[in-house]
Chain A
């Protein structure tokens, strides 16, 4: 507990003294500060945050591992390569035995950081190095798409809730239309169309080519906009009729000022609560799409593509699929727990209601 917390709580440092109680300053009383303090006191949420940050850190260290420790190129096929196991040079792809010699099996985990720690995949690539690079892709797409999704959904919800009437009806039906499609079917359709455009796609200043991580990022962001839009719009409708908004209108505030200065700050907590949950959802969606080969494109890796690479090796080389599977579980679990913590921090009534 920090000194401020102890002071606010009337902790032992304050008791038994003759001095008058020091009231917390205005900063400590701000809703954000209170929420931050509640979050810091939530051990599960903080542990999840630490775990998530740790995974982000080791994923960012992927080049360090690949180049300086394992000395491999995780994106290059190495079907005819060799590595060292127990001091002996062995082929990475090993031909089947018996009299038939059917099949080629990649080397399994060596548990040696310098030599195929988690073994190789069916193209002879280092699974551990790909796992780290895959984490970069999955996290980049998950966080990037969550940011875009929340931004678009918030803007649309602000417009719909503030202007109401025909604008609200039009935007809400548009969201219903997107929501009506099965999420994965919509993503598969969009992906297939975009992946077959030879020269990619131009969106404003952004030029997207088939292998770009922006493609799955934008697709996933788009399909989940209605998911964020609905609760934010509901909050906007609630806020827009409050007295302080009416007072601002009476003072002649412009629409832009009303939306961004009066309404947005009072609905942003909903977005913040949804944000970590959307990252988790988006990482799962990215993994599913990549598993189906319509998300991250080769030679890039993501956890979904690595699971897909390993599905034909489940009997003999299960770590190829299990390792990225564990990473997805850890990230999604940590983000969900963190999301719950953020919600409890920003809306303590929700916790009371749950407890009740």
Chain B
């Protein structure tokens, strides 16, 4: 998921991000004495802004956490904390549709009486504008390329009238697809598909956010200063599970402070929250351990993977034995320490993260006989595999980022590779250059191992197993080719395709197939999976009602201020 890549970029690839959910180290959210109350200004401090604000293009958690409070889609992930937060519920549609026409047609009944923040009444045809903007702006994903007519769309123009059929009289919206897509509803719950009014510019709106239907509206956004959201006077609650009313009167996100300064301001009660994508410096973590802040710090496990991709097109890692060798040698305990210790990361060997559909613990690359969790590296086995592969002594370039955590991860990987007989060196690039660089196949000759991190777009196994390791996501000479390892197994891809198709009709069987694919990919070792990160939310003592949603993380507007 590219989106979280963007997060990783803007948030400096957070080590401190994400979490083990409600099952992990969860602190009591807020004093029981505090009762929900509306009013006040909720202030978020973020190191940097999120780039362009147009929801058709923005692909960052930073803006998404705000957009869910100002805009709505046809469907939504339930706006509650914990695992129920991954459940889809109807939002601007009255119900979740059952796909027809072999999974290629979805008919939505649109709610009446809803207005945008500019006073314009919501109509089904507004979605035609919304989806066409995905191609004229254009949007950063291929999520909606399956709509009939999408193949002819470009930035110069788009006509989706056959794929998005709006009936403003009967208040229905019909989406016609060229092929079945069992994940369409998940994709419709993302901000790219949030309704904007007909008449919105078909070009990028830059720093102006088009009106939405949520409880807040954007008053201003200046990437060099702050974003301000105030209450939408036209909002009323139509489905609290999808879009409840918010508590604060105003939400402000301020930009430009160093994260350490953000921590100090929140400690002093001068702001409400340190943006959870900002990496809290490791030497400030010590004070957050203090009992004084126990009720203000929340740690949650993220459905995310930090890994090193192995270049399967180049020696030595075009040899599966060599790939398995470095998997056995990787000292995941060291990587976890770099991530901030076991409270902030959990070692893993597999692609799918815990708390994710189809996840079944699996770790063949560990010392000992328990293959459900990593305990220690097995250097003897690793060295044996290197000898078998005949790749000992090969020069290996490890690519990573120049930030503090990135450098440390690369240094550890270099040490692990050297320990089993390779001659490893590092190649560090700035965060904004590194990811496009390693995605582009024209650079495959320049690296052997490349750092990567992936955070879910939506809770579906294909978002990891197909997007990151599918044959169809290798785009030669493109900076947007998320299968960095260029790993492609036709046998596994067949199973992926079966699982995707089966997802709509038999989710249980589909999940079994995804579990099998996860194991096959882990055995083929195109990656060295390192750990599943956790995320820290640090809030002011004046903030109450903390909830953590696996999809959107902190639910900003569901908190109140004292």
Q: What residues make up the interface of A, taking CB atoms closer than 8 Å to B?
A: 76-77, 79-80, 93, 95-105, 122-123, 192, 195-198, 209-211, 292-294, 297-299, 308-309, 311-317
- Assess whether B397 is in contact with A198, with CB atoms less than 8 Å apart: yes
Query: Chain B 321-354, CB within 8 Å of chain A: the 1/0 string?
Result: 0000000000101100110111110000000000
- The count of A-to-B residue pairs whose CB atoms sit within 8 angstroms is 146
Task: Contacts A96-B289, A196-B429 given; indicate if A293 touches B402 (C-beta within 8 A).
Answer: yes
Give B contacts to A, CB under 8 Å. Answer: 25, 27, 260, 281-286, 288-291, 294, 297, 299, 331, 333-334, 337-338, 340-344, 397, 402, 404, 407-408, 410-412, 414-415, 425-430, 433, 437, 443, 445-447, 536
CB atoms of A79 and B338 under 8 A apart? yes
A309 to B405, CA, bound (A): 10
The answer to whether A209 touches B425 (Cβ under 8 A) is: yes
Closest to B334 in A: A79
Contact A123 B411 (CB under 8 A): yes
Inter-chain CA distance A80–B415, complex, in Å, is: 13
Most buried by A among B414, B427, B536: B427
Residues in chain B near residue A312, CB distance under 8 A: 281-283, 404
Label chain A's interface by main secondary structure: loop
**B404 CB contacts on chain A under 8 angstroms:** 122, 308-309, 311-312
Given A102-B299, A196-B446, check contact A211 B425 (CB 8 Å): yes
In the assembled complex, 25 residue pairs joining A and B whose CB atoms fall closer than 8 Å, in A order, are A77-B415, A79-B333, A99-B25, A99-B291, A100-B343, A102-B343, A103-B340, A104-B338, A104-B340, A105-B282, A122-B338, A192-B430, A196-B427, A196-B437, A196-B443, A196-B446, A198-B397, A198-B446, A210-B425, A210-B426, A298-B414, A298-B428, A312-B283, A312-B404, A313-B283
CA distance A128 to B333 in the complex (A): 25
- In contact, A315 and B443 (Cβ under 8 angstroms): no
Whole-angstrom distance from the CB of B81 to the nearest CB of chain A? 19
Q: Are B427 and A195 in contact (CB under 8 A)?
A: yes
Which A residues are CB-close (under 8 A) to B433?
192
CB distance from A82 to the nearest CB of B (A): 14
Rounded to whole Å, the gap between the CB of B51 and the closest CB of chain A is 21
On chain B, the residues within 8 Å of A123 by CB distance are: 338, 408, 411-412
- Nearest CB on B from A196, distance (A): 6
| Contact (Cβ within 8 A) A198 B289 | no
Q: A100-B288, A102-B343, A211-B426 are in contact. Are A317 and B283 (CB under 8 A)?
A: yes
A104 and B341 within 8 A (CB): yes
* Residue pair B408, A122 in contact (C-beta under 8 Å): yes
Nearest neighbor of B412 in chain A, beta-carbon distance: A77
Evaluate contact between A102 and B340: CB separation under 8 angstroms.
yes
B340 to chain A minimum Cβ distance, whole angstroms, is 5
Contact A99 B294, beta carbon cutoff 8 Å: yes
Known contacts A195-B427, A198-B446, A297-B428: A98-B289 contact under CB 8 Å? yes
Which residues of A are found within 8 Å of B281, using beta-carbon distances?
Answer: 312-315
Chain B residues near A297 (CB, 8 Å)?
425-426, 428
Quote the shortest CB–CB distance from A301 to chain B (angstroms).
Answer: 11
Q: Tell me if A98 and B341 are in contact (CB < 8 A).
A: no
Pairwise interchain contact B283-A102, C-beta atoms closer than 8 A = no
Is A100 in contact with B299, judged by CB distance below 8 angstroms?
Answer: yes
Cβ-closest chain A residue relative to B401 = A293
- Chain B, residue nearest A211 (CB): B425
CA distance A34 to B437 in the complex (A): 58
The reply to whether A98 and B425 form a contact with Cβ atoms under 8 Å apart is no
Shortest CB distance A210–B (Å): 6
**Nearest 3 pairs between A and B by C-beta?**
A103-B285, A98-B289, A293-B402
Question: Do residues B446 and A298 form an inter-chain contact, with CB atoms below 8 A?
Answer: no
Chain A nearest CB, measured from B264 CB (Å): 10
B334 pairs with A96, CB closer than 8 A: no
- Beyond known contacts A96-B285, A103-B286: 16 more, CB 8 A cutoff: A79-B338, A98-B289, A98-B290, A100-B288, A101-B342, A103-B282, A104-B282, A195-B429, A196-B429, A211-B426, A293-B430, A294-B428, A308-B404, A309-B404, A312-B282, A316-B283
Structural contact, A103 and B446, CB atoms closer than 8 A: no
